[in-house]
Chains A and B, each alone.
Chain A
Amino acid sequence: MAYLYNMKKVFFSLVCLLCVQVASAQKDSLAFDEGNNYIYYRVIDKPGLTADTLYKRGWDFATAFNPSARPAKGQAENTLNTSGKFLVYTGVSLMKKEGGQINYTINIQTKDQRYRYRISNFVFIPYQRDRFGNMVPIPGIEVPLEKMTAKYGKKETDNYLDQIGSFCISTGVKLKSAIDKQPAAKKAESIKKISTENW
């Protein structure tokens, strides 16, 4: 009887572990906009701050976030745009390697006591190994994120969507800390102390 009880506990633990893994899929943070394009969109309330202050902090964030691209004023009032790229990986564990890069744009818009941002225009540029053993972009191949499933299949696309979701979430955290004028909270790593006197 005790044996069966232990087995149940082991099964229950495994199911919990799998659920945690499934729940950690980051692609769900992305949505489709009106044009059926992938977008990461958030509206944040920031009581006590004017649109101008929020805009200036958003501009400072964009400048620091991607130093190689100067932000640009958007067409609408209190709007700014910036763009950038990041690497996405294919494979797992020892077989993990650069699968390509994702180009994106960030749009930030502010009004009194509120701001919103969207990360969108995701374009995948696949990488291939060059003669020197480095993974490099394939010139001239650019695949909009919305067309990736048709070109690379669902499994590969889901892998990249997860990484894009993670990037968007972490970018949102950085933007929030920049708007709040507070450095992003770092996890305090506690170092275990031991006594070497009594032994």
Chain B
Amino acid sequence: MKKRLLLLSFFVASVFAASAQDTTKADPPLMISGSVDTYYKYDFSKHSNLPTSFASDNNSVSIGMIDLALKKKVGKAAFVGELSFGPRGQAQSIPNGDDGNSFHIQNLYVSYDVTDKFNLTGGYMATFMGYEVISPVGNFNYSTSYLFTNGPFQNPGFKATYAFTSKVSLMAGIFNDSWNYYTSVNQVNTFGAQLMVAPVTGWTAYLNVLTGKLSGTEFDLTTSYQITDAFKLGLNAATFKAADAVGTGGFTGVALYPQLAVSKDVTLGLRGEYFKTKTGDYPTFGPTPGSSVFATTVTANIKAGPLTVIPEFRFDNNKSVNDGFISKSGAPTKNASQFVLAAVYAF
């Protein structure tokens, strides 16, 4: 009993002593953040129909990923290492190494603040293009858009960012010749740039471009505006043309994201997306080349502290009956619909 009490008092004293030491540090501590997510999906055709990313398993309680991000900054130098495990965090979002094993790495880069306004960053980074992201914490909807699925996920390279003011910044960088690979195919010759403007409080807009001889050329506009405390409107528009070396074709699309907070813990949102594939032989995740799809997703985010429960209903309508959806009976159909119930815990 006595030993236990002594041990307890030693532990308590250690905790307080440790916190006292923390307060003397000038640099922020090593920061750990991340998430876990799991979901149930029911496709009304009784098999998975939608070609967009994640929430792939029909009539199954399935896992997304566990995501762990580490960040440390000492003075002006920082690193970020983000690891992910699970279907969403491995084969569905990152490439494997040459030996077929997953490296589990979403982000691995170092950065240096040359001045308060000028930053240099290099390594393997999530793409700067697009509205939606791989982490379920960063998205309102659990299923993803066609624009997200067909755009880049990661762009390894080197970039420089200059903040003219808190309302205008410009990033320019040179990236590997192909998206979503840990190494370049041959060269580091894809150019990327991002102009950020924040015209008024709550409104941010990103004009993005990514172009290379192998990666093709994509222009992207990503913007969101918190119009009132309760209402937010987001928009993503992009157009992509495949590189000549890869093929012909590409895609164009636009997605609108209105969201309304109906209470402190509940927000309702809609995603309306129009996605069109260009004629050619470049493969896309969507309707056949030269066709289009209109997708409507109704989502609720119900928060309980760090936990978000996401019920979601989605209805996709292809232009043609031969654009890829299969009905319950096995016949081609224009429509596909699904229900998803997901839970995301962020830490």
Q: Which residues of A contact B (CB under 8 A)?
A: 3, 6-7, 10-11, 13-14, 17-18, 20-21, 87, 89, 92-98, 128-135, 139-142, 150-151
Contact indicator B71/A134 (Cβ below 8 Å): yes
A-B contacts besides A10-B5, A134-B71, A151-B264, 6 pairs, CB < 8 Å: A17-B16, A89-B28, A96-B22, A132-B107, A133-B70, A133-B82
Question: Which residues does chain A contribute within 8 Å of B22, judged by CB atoms?
Answer: 96
B residues contacting the other copy or chain, number (CB 8 A): 48
Contact indicator A133/B80 (Cβ below 8 Å): yes
- For A129, give its contact among B19, B33, B204 (CB under 8 Å): B33
- Say yes or no: A98-B31 contact (C-beta < 8 A), given A140-B202, A150-B264: yes
22 A-B pairs in the complex with CB atoms less than 8 angstroms apart = A3-B2, A7-B2, A7-B5, A10-B2, A10-B6, A11-B5, A17-B12, A87-B28, A93-B18, A97-B32, A98-B28, A129-B135, A129-B137, A131-B135, A132-B126, A133-B33, A139-B198, A139-B201, A140-B201, A140-B202, A140-B232, A142-B201
Closest A residue to B229 by CB, please name it: A141
Question: Which residues does chain B contribute within 8 Å of A6, judged by CB atoms?
Answer: 2
Question: Which residues does chain A contribute within 8 Å of B32, judged by CB atoms?
Answer: 94-95, 97
Question: Which residues does chain A contribute within 8 Å of B13, judged by CB atoms?
Answer: 17
- For A10, give its contact among B9, B135, B138 (CB under 8 Å): B9
With an 8 A cutoff between CB atoms, is B203 at the interface? yes
Question: Which residues does chain A contribute within 8 Å of B204, judged by CB atoms?
Answer: 139
For the complex of A and B, 5 pairs with smallest distance between CB atoms: A140-B202, A140-B226, A133-B80, A131-B126, A133-B69
Question: Which residues does chain B contribute within 8 Å of A139, judged by CB atoms?
Answer: 198, 201-204, 224, 226
Contact indicator A96/B203 (Cβ below 8 Å): no
With an 8 A cutoff between CB atoms, is B103 at the interface? no
With an 8 A cutoff between CB atoms, is B8 at the interface? yes
- Say yes or no: A14-B2 contact (C-beta < 8 A), given A97-B33, A133-B82, A139-B226: no
With an 8 A cutoff between CB atoms, is B225 at the interface? yes
Contact indicator B31/A96 (Cβ below 8 Å): yes
Closest B residue to A89 by CB, please name it: B28
Question: Which residues does chain A contribute within 8 Å of B133, judged by CB atoms?
Answer: 131
Q: How far is the CA of A14 from the CA of B229 in the complex (A)?
A: 46
State how many angstroms separate the Cβ of A151 from the closest Cβ of chain B. Answer: 6
Contact indicator B80/A134 (Cβ below 8 Å): yes
Question: Which residues does chain A contribute within 8 Å of B5, judged by CB atoms?
Answer: 7, 10-11
- Say yes or no: A96-B138 contact (C-beta < 8 A), given A131-B133, A139-B202: no
Of listed A21, A96, A97, A142, residue having the most chain B CB within 10 A: A97
With an 8 A cutoff between CB atoms, is B210 at the interface? no
Q: How far is the CA of A173 from the CA of B264 in the complex (A)?
A: 38
Question: Which residues does chain B contribute within 8 Å of A150, judged by CB atoms?
Answer: 264
Q: How far is the CA of A131 from the CA of B138 in the complex (A)?
A: 7
Contact indicator A133/B71 (Cβ below 8 Å): yes
With an 8 A cutoff between CB atoms, is B290 at the interface? no
Question: Which residues does chain A contribute within 8 Å of B229, judged by CB atoms?
Answer: 141
- Say yes or no: A133-B202 contact (C-beta < 8 A), given A14-B8, A96-B29: no
Provide the B1-38 mask, 1 if CB < 8 A to any CB of A, else 0. Answer: 11001101100110010110010000011111100000
- For B107, give its contact among A21, A133, A140 (CB under 8 Å): A133
State how many angstroms separate the Cβ of B346 from the closest Cβ of chain A. Answer: 8
Question: Which residues does chain A contribute within 8 Å of B28, judged by CB atoms?
Answer: 87, 89, 98
Provide the B113-142 mask, 1 if CB < 8 A to any CB of A, else 0. Answer: 000000000000111100001110110000
- Say yes or no: A129-B69 contact (C-beta < 8 A), given A14-B12, A17-B13, A98-B31: yes
Q: How far is the CA of A141 from the CA of B204 in the complex (A)?
A: 12
Question: Which residues does chain A contribute within 8 Å of B12, judged by CB atoms?
Answer: 14, 17-18
Question: Which residues does chain A contribute within 8 Å of B198, judged by CB atoms?
Answer: 139
Of listed A11, A20, A93, A139, residue having the most chain B CB within 10 A: A139
Q: How far is the CA of A134 from the CA of B204 in the complex (A)?
A: 17
- For B31, give its contact among A18, A135, A142 (CB under 8 Å): A135
Q: How far is the CA of A108 from the CA of B269 in the complex (A)?
A: 46
State how many angstroms separate the Cβ of A66 from the closest Cβ of chain B. Answer: 13
Closest B residue to A129 by CB, please name it: B33
State how many angstroms separate the Cβ of B54 from the closest Cβ of chain A. Answer: 15
Question: Which residues does chain B contribute within 8 Å of A140, judged by CB atoms?
Answer: 201-203, 225-226, 232
Question: Which residues does chain A contribute within 8 Å of B203, judged by CB atoms?
Answer: 139-140
State how many angstroms separate the Cβ of B179 from the closest Cβ of chain A. Answer: 14
State how many angstroms separate the Cβ of A87 from the closest Cβ of chain B. Answer: 8
State how many angstroms separate the Cβ of A120 from the closest Cβ of chain B. Answer: 20
State how many angstroms separate the Cβ of B68 from the closest Cβ of chain A. Answer: 10
State how many angstroms separate the Cβ of B262 from the closest Cβ of chain A. Answer: 15
Question: Which residues does chain B contribute within 8 Å of A133, judged by CB atoms?
Answer: 33, 69-71, 80-82, 107
